[in-house]
Structure 1
């Protein structure tokens, strides 16, 4: 066997455009790539708000444009299949996802799977699906986020909700990377404070978990390159992205929530979200996200709020394994840690996250999200099944450990 544990990989969207007014350059990209027809995938609210018109206006007049606005928050299989059916009927050269993570996820999957004649869940890993490989499609996908949080514009994954099972599952493949990500902070200016807060804490959690997940050489070594896990573990490169993301978000999220028209704060949040997305889609996540999925699945809580409530207690649990890293996080969040031990500094990091969440109106405990003490054993059992995320947690976590963390987070 070759020394596979000395090799790491790094991937991003094929091309990224970032900056105020970047949406106006979509038309140039469409023309350069010889796209003659596009399908915009979005939600009804963004269409009514005129955001879709802004995107559409940037597309050359000689390009046919259709719109699918049936995306809903936490899209289920029906939403994905409806979008895929529309894409199959129209057969566009390009699909443009406009919106939050839900719209971008649906756009990416529609671009890859139309006109595949398979159930969407077949592409989900067992035991839910069959793990059918996502095909390499010729349909170009352009991702235009209108929130600063999910990182879907730089992600090779999409989340599918299963309301009948009170569960969320993912489809992951290198073929789900967008061909172009257009990150325009001006599209986030109209976001309400609550959405800004939720999505911002999601981005911060992405960055913190990417920065503290297991190193690439501490994960199980595959027998061949193709056997590496989707999340390869942190590297010196992902650390660079995560550190800058934490610094940007920590310094700008409060202002973005309190004064949404502050373009500089919005720009920093958009950049922080993009960098955090690049970091976590390469390095991986951990127990915070694994625990959040069953909580949100059962209680229908916003993902960003759910991870924000859980993150401080997960940080405290993980502190013995990566106290030095949490100390650096405290410093990046502006905490005075000079002369403090790693363990004391890591306590400052968890407290800083709690304070930030409180300042922007995030509930302080799971009980505020509808979770009761009796729910804890069931939530821990469901979380223990999400090994694709737990395998990256820096400290080993058993079902009993998960129960304890859930109880602390109440």
Structure 2
């Protein structure tokens, strides 16, 4: 592991400190059975149990519900979560929760489920115009009030990290682009991370969620350093996307090491329980990392790719409507992005590639972008990802519109180590159309 020492610049307009936040985390096989006791310990007596139509039919959902009821908790169930949530699906979930009047929330599912529970908790606890809390420039960015009701997040995929972040992402239908709400107040109170939940996942879902983890770790590790971020008027207003910092570096590098060793195994062998467990642990580590550092350009681009999809339907996912899964939409942009950002911190990019298993001995600084891009493309091929954006339905003529869709993601773009504008984003989209 290469060491990077951070030093304040002396410029009073820049920050010189960083903040560490995380949910309480319980990790291990079988821990989902602890849910009822954990809920009662938080004072929950009437829980809104959120899930989606697919997960709600699985044994893991039955385990969660049974644990809650055995602990004497009244349970009301909402399973209409939309995969890749929209502003309308957030509103529908909020309306349900407002009528149910729970004193706590439990989410059992992937990032869509956890994010929907966060949004319902917020808008029921502190009603407001929908765009009031949404990130600018799309929304007003009003600070999220506290308190919210307690929320226990129980992820069933090894990818989003939503169980340990204060971020809720959705597709704003009127813009055909994703945006979100970000606040430490949205961070779940507790996370129960049970690798048993991933044993039955299809290979494509494991691949997409695992590559989302990989992107979380890479983007956090290569984000603008926290000492280059402008200081806030008050310390309590310091954003979650602080930039790369010593705490986030620890989780990012370990997550990359684990993924380099276990991701391909987890995708290609459903019986490899060690690989799936270690991939889920990497997801938790990377979630904590990017929850304190933030991600940048690949995620900003991904929201446009997912929001403007026309016909693509991946294997292993519900086929009712076109969909580019989140992890896929992120990783398809990543090699082209890191070719550009490598010049800002070549040693970091090379170290990231080394953790993923690339041979970096003798690599010069000017090689860093290609070394990391090659490592990413190799992993993409190993786990069956499409060959660039052209394979999910985009062409050269779409790049400007994709750039327009990514540009509202200023919370992410301003966390990048390089300056961005729309023409630059269009060029990076064009470079991501095909890789091999």
Report TM bin, short chain.
Answer: over 0.9
Separation in 2, partners of 1:211, 1:242 = 6
Could you tell me whether the CA contact under 8 Å between 1:18 and 1:184 is conserved in 2? yes
Task: Output one character per residue of 1:19-50: Cα deviation in whole Å (capped at 9) or x when no partner.
Answer: 11110111221232232121110001111223
Separation in 2, partners of 1:330, 1:145 = 28
SS at the partner of 1:6? coil
Separation in 1, partners of 2:420, 2:12 = 30
Partner of 1:205: 215
Separation in 1, partners of 2:271, 2:346 = 37
Tell me: CA distance 1:388–1:33, structure 2 relative to 1, closer, same or farther (3 Å).
Answer: closer
Separation in 1, partners of 2:301, 2:236 = 28
Separation in 2, partners of 1:33, 1:318 = 44
SS at the partner of 2:141? coil
Q: How does 1:157-306 map to 2 (within 5 A)?
A: 157-299=167-309, 300-306=323-329
Separation in 1, partners of 2:13, 2:173 = 43
Would you say 1:312 and 2:335 are equivalent positions? yes
Would you say 1:155 and 2:165 are equivalent positions? yes
SS at the partner of 2:168? strand
Of the three residues 18, 29, 44, the one matched with 1:35 is 44
Q: Which runs of 5+ in 1 are unaligned?
A: none
Could you tell me whether the CA contact under 8 Å between 1:244 and 1:272 is conserved in 2? yes
SS at the partner of 1:5? coil
SS at the partner of 2:345? helix
Which structure is higher in helix share?
A: 1
Tell me: CA distance 1:87–1:393, structure 2 relative to 1, closer, same or farther (3 Å).
Answer: same
* Post-superposition offset of 1:255: 0.9
Partner of 1:379: 402
Task: Output one character per residue of 1:369-397: Cα deviation in whole Å (capped at 9) or x when no partner.
Answer: 11111111222233233221111111222
* Post-superposition offset of 1:83: 1.6
Separation in 1, partners of 2:253, 2:62 = 36
Greater CA deviation, 161-170 or 177-186? 161-170
* Post-superposition offset of 1:115: 4.5
SS at the partner of 1:65? strand
Could you tell me whether the CA contact under 8 Å between 1:38 and 1:93 is conserved in 2? yes
Tell me: CA distance 1:174–1:326, structure 2 relative to 1, closer, same or farther (3 Å).
Answer: same
Partner of 2:5: none
What is the TM-score normalised by the length of structure 2? 0.90
Greater CA deviation, 222-231 or 237-246? 222-231
Could you tell me whether the CA contact under 8 Å between 1:23 and 1:183 is conserved in 2? yes
SS at the partner of 1:403? helix
Could you tell me whether the CA contact under 8 Å between 2:148 and 2:185 is conserved in 1? no
SS at the partner of 1:44? coil
Partner of 1:409: 432
SS at the partner of 1:395? coil
Of the three residues 6, 15, 27, the one matched with 1:5 is 15
Tell me: CA distance 1:385–1:130, structure 2 relative to 1, closer, same or farther (3 Å).
Answer: closer
Could you tell me whether the CA contact under 8 Å between 2:221 and 2:253 is conserved in 1? yes
Q: Which runs of 5+ in 2 are unaligned?
A: 1-10, 310-322
Task: Output one character per residue of 1:216-250: Cα deviation in whole Å (capped at 9) or x when no partner.
Answer: 01112233324433311111111001000111112
Of the three residues 37, 40, 45, the one matched with 2:54 is 45
SS at the partner of 1:129? coil
Of the three residues 17, 27, 37, the one matched with 2:26 is 17
Partner of 2:145: 135
Greater CA deviation, 274-283 or 227-236? 227-236
Separation in 2, partners of 1:396, 1:168 = 21
Could you tell me whether the CA contact under 8 Å between 1:313 and 1:350 is conserved in 2? yes
What is the TM-score normalised by the length of structure 1? 0.95
Would you say 1:392 and 2:415 are equivalent positions? yes
Could you tell me whether the CA contact under 8 Å between 1:4 and 1:224 is conserved in 2? no
* Post-superposition offset of 1:4: 5.7
Count of aligned residue pairs for this structure pair:
409
SS at the partner of 1:38? strand
Give the root-mean-square deviation of aligned CA atoms.
1.7
Task: Output one character per residue of 1:151-197: Cα deviation in whole Å (capped at 9) or x when no partner.
Answer: 10011010121223211111111110101100001101111111111
